[in-house]
């Protein structure tokens, strides 16, 4: 039986998690199954009150819940679109390649911790692939975008819109282009 209007916001970690009747560690209840979809309905510090699809609820350590990405924007919403997701995918791949190269050099002894930190400082990517859908972090524009395989749609911006185009953004992020950083 599913609770009407149930919409998961989180998933229980892959190893399951203990649960409590109240936000009190002296009142344990049945642990939650691994990867169980839950809806976080209340927070009290680190405690999270979750609702399960069958209507059962419990308190858990909310710090360990895995957030579920929100649905992509609806098709008729006003969105900033770019025609092709491939350039952003190529930048993410290049950034990951640069990071992997630094890891290999560190593991091989050719780079110390300080050198590794210097080589990786400012590298920033974000990629979530779920079947045909992908969420990508666009460091150049400080936003998350959603792609359906053919086009990108702005999903969430890192900062509020700015009046002046010349204001500084996230200065520490290195933007990787085909010609380098």
What pLDDT shows up at residue 179?
A: 52
Residue 10: partners with Cβ closer than 8 Å, 6 or more residues away: 37, 38, 39, 40, 48, 50, 65, 66, 67, 68
What pLDDT shows up at residue 139?
A: 80
**pLDDT tens string 43-85:** 988 899 999 888 899 999 988 888 776 665 554 544 455 557 8
Q: How far apart are CA 54 and CA 57, in angstroms?
A: 9
Which part of the chain has CATH 2.30.30.40? 10-67
Partners of 153 in beta bridges:
81, 146
**pLDDT tens string 158-168:** 654 443 444 44
What CATH code would you report for 10-67?
A: 2.30.30.40
If pLDDT is split at 50, 70 and 90, which confidence band does 104 have? very high
Higher pLDDT pick, 66 / 110: 110
Q: How far apart are CA 32 and CA 60, in angstroms?
A: 9
Q: How far apart are CA 65 and CA 9, in angstroms?
A: 9
What pLDDT shows up at residue 164?
A: 40
Q: What is the mean pLDDT of the chain?
A: 78
For range 118-125, the mean pLDDT: 90
Q: Enter the tokens of residue 35.
A: 């990867």
């Amino acid at each position: 039986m599913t609770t009407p209007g149930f919409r998961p916001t989180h998933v229980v970690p892959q190893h399951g998690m203990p649960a409590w009747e109240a936000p009190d560690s002296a009142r344990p209840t049945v642990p939650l199954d691994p990867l169980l979809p839950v809806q976080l309905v209340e927070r009290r510090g680190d405690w999270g009150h979750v609702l399960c699809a069958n209507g059962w609820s419990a308190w858990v350590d909310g710090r360990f819940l895995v957030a579920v990405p929100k649905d992509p924007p609806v098709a008729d919403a006003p969105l900033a679109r770019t025609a092709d997701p491939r350039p952003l995918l190529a930048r993410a791949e290049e950034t990951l390649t640069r990071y992997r190269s630094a890891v290999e050099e560190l593991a091989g002894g050719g780079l110390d911790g300080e050198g590794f930190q210097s080589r990786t400082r400012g590298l920033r990517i974000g990629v979530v692939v779920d079947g045909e859908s992908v969420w990508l972090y666009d460091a150049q524009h400080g936003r998350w975008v959603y792609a359906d395989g053919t086009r990108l749609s702005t999903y969430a911006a890192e900062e509020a819109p700015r009046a002046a185009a010349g204001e500084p953004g996230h200065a520490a992020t290195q933007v990787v282009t085909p010609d380098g950083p």
